[in-house]
Structure 1
Amino acid sequence: MRYVITGATGHLGQTVVRHLAQLVAPQEMVLGVHTPAKAANFAAQGMTVKGLDYQQPATVQAVLQDADVAIYIPSKSHDSFSRVTEFEHVLTAVERANVGHLIVMGFIADQATNPFALSAFYGYVPRRLAQTALSYTILRNALYADPLVPYLPELIDRQNVIYPMGDASLSFISLEESAAAFAKVAVTPALWTQTTYTLTQERSYTMPALARVLSDVSGHSIGYAPVTLRQFAEMYNQGNEGHMLASMYAGGAQGLLATVTDDYRKIMGRPAQNLPEFLTATLKRRAQGR
């Protein structure tokens, strides 16, 4: 078998690689990366590393050629037009490269009415794939729970969660469990009969409920005092991401980030770790320097 992972040195990509390497031989894995030097540790394990530029379809096709399974992880571009263009290049390459099955990363903020800056891309993906004759699976992630850990000291200082969410709730999944699900789907053709899975924990959290969880795991009193969307965008505009982040929570305030499913259980045979357990375990590992 030949398993190809694109974007293999990003946060999700390298975690998918690590989980897939527990299920298949490294020699069966081909990694498409923008900077091959960043994947030297994977090459040392026996994986094939190839240069890939999403804007150059020929390089994409060369990486994907004759893949039994290809896992496409998008770049981190911040606008839907760039990502749609990238995805079209990938689809062209997939159709020419004789790929057996395509797995695509999705996100729960893909609704037609969602104001999230990237919702157009995430909504385009399933509609575009439906036009093809490809065998494919879309894995829609909930919000990653992981950023809550480094964010916690700021929330302790503020004594409040400040997400502009109103009474709506958020759904989470950890990066580790998302990656594990990607790897499991890649090696399990029986799971390909369902074209879309939504990876979430088995409950969502209103902001007061999230504040209680963060209070419990940190030992500090944290409440809920939301800022406005404009304030949030200005506060977190590092890398010019403020508008994108605020637009995501604008969708969240409409209840569009609250999806909960048992799809993770369908894939892995067990429920996803709940948020309090995830945060407690992660904080413990950080305290131990692991």
Structure 2
Amino acid sequence: MYAITGATGQLGHLVITALLEKVPAGEIVAVVRSPEKAADLAALGVVVRAGDYDRPETLAAAFAGVSKLLLISSNEIGRREAQHRTAIEAARDAGVGLIVYTSLLHADTSTLDLGVEHRATEALLRDAGVPFALLRNGWYTENYAARIDAALSTGALVGSAGAGRISFAARADYAAAAAAVLTADEDQGGRIYELAGDSAYTLSDLAAEIARQAGRDIAYTDLPEAAYRETLIEAGLPEIYAGLLSESDAKSAAGALFDDGGDLSALIGRPTTPLTISVAAALA
């Protein structure tokens, strides 16, 4: 049995889609806070179980009989360490044989603020006594999709990344990698994968590709980190996320989101999704 936490989220749903190509639906457990939101998965034959990081009593039943667990990191910044501790302890107590965790690219050395909770979770896994594998995910191409509408309306893609090269890849690429690790015949205990796109791009490259496909003049406008943060807040983003996005942009200028190791394409057995395809999907 393969269990996926956060299964109705964007990544979780894609992982299940990828798993359905490899294993019978009845061997997949979708762990979700609200089972009624997973009706589409249940219709495919996927086992849907209630499980909430904030309700430890739900996780014992959610993880019962599970041999491999994909622990998708919580999206509640500031509460992740405690929530992940609860899930890891429940998995250990349920006898799960392998925990696969979605961490952050180069989490052990990352200068990003996001790295703090990921490093803490990796430490929890090392101390738990359960075999684990780390999927240190880089940036999703889709992280930039929210900027495209604004770029089309203003003629400028705004950010704070300077000329930093970012090795982003499509979310579906990372989902395929997770499915590959979960179903691998080889022992995955102790494996660490630094996952990133085959090619790295600057935000100027991204602006140029959007302009080419949209047939409009779009340039990249680079702002100081603080100014970009204020721009995001003015656009309606909560302060905590505006701070994380602007900080991530600024630190990517120094290489925080770059990797050329090729782990991702090696895992999925194909090149990662090209920028041209991702931009076309976003524009569509």
Shorter-chain TM-score above 0.5: yes
Select between 147-156 and 4-13 the one with higher mean Cα deviation: 147-156
Q: Counterpart amino acid of 1:242? A: A
Shift in Å, 1:50: 1.4
Is the CA contact 1:181–1:267 (under 8 Å) kept in the aligned structure 2? yes
Partner of 2:254: 254
Select between 102-111 and 51-60 the one with higher mean Cα deviation: 102-111
Q: Counterpart amino acid of 1:38? A: K
Shift in Å, 1:150: 4.8
* 1:172 to 2:171 alignment: no
Shift in Å, 1:283: 4.9
Partner of 2:193: 197
Select between 166-175 and 183-192 the one with higher mean Cα deviation: 183-192
Following superposition, which runs of at least 4 residues in structure 1 exceed 4 angstroms of deviation? none
* 1:98 to 2:95 alignment: yes
With the length of structure 1 as denominator, give the TM-score of the two structures: 0.88
- C-alpha distance in 2, partners of 1:278/1:170? 15
Partner of 1:15: 14
With the length of structure 2 as denominator, give the TM-score of the two structures: 0.90
* 1:136 to 2:132 alignment: yes
Partner of 2:34: 35
Q: Counterpart amino acid of 1:124? A: A
Shift in Å, 1:125: 2.6
Q: Counterpart amino acid of 1:86? A: Q
Q: Counterpart amino acid of 1:243? A: G
Shift in Å, 1:37: 0.6
Question: How many aligned residue pairs are there?
Answer: 280
Partner of 2:45: 46
Shift in Å, 1:126: 2.6
Is the CA contact 1:30–1:47 (under 8 Å) kept in the aligned structure 2? yes
- C-alpha distance in 2, partners of 1:170/1:158? 23
Shift in Å, 1:224: 2.2
SS state of the match for residue 50, structure 1? strand
Distance 1:49 1:193, change over 3 A: closer
Is the CA contact 1:262–1:271 (under 8 Å) kept in the aligned structure 2? no
- C-alpha distance in 1, partners of 2:45/2:30? 11
5+ unaligned residues in a row in structure 2: which ranges? none
Is the CA contact 2:32–2:51 (under 8 Å) kept in the aligned structure 1? yes
Distance 1:41 1:210, change over 3 A: closer
Partner of 2:59: 60
SS state of the match for residue 209, structure 2? helix
5+ unaligned residues in a row in structure 1: which ranges? none
Partner of 2:222: 226
Partner of 1:242: 242
Q: Counterpart amino acid of 1:250? A: A
Shift in Å, 1:112: 4.5
- C-alpha distance in 2, partners of 1:144/1:64? 28
- C-alpha distance in 1, partners of 2:61/2:189? 28
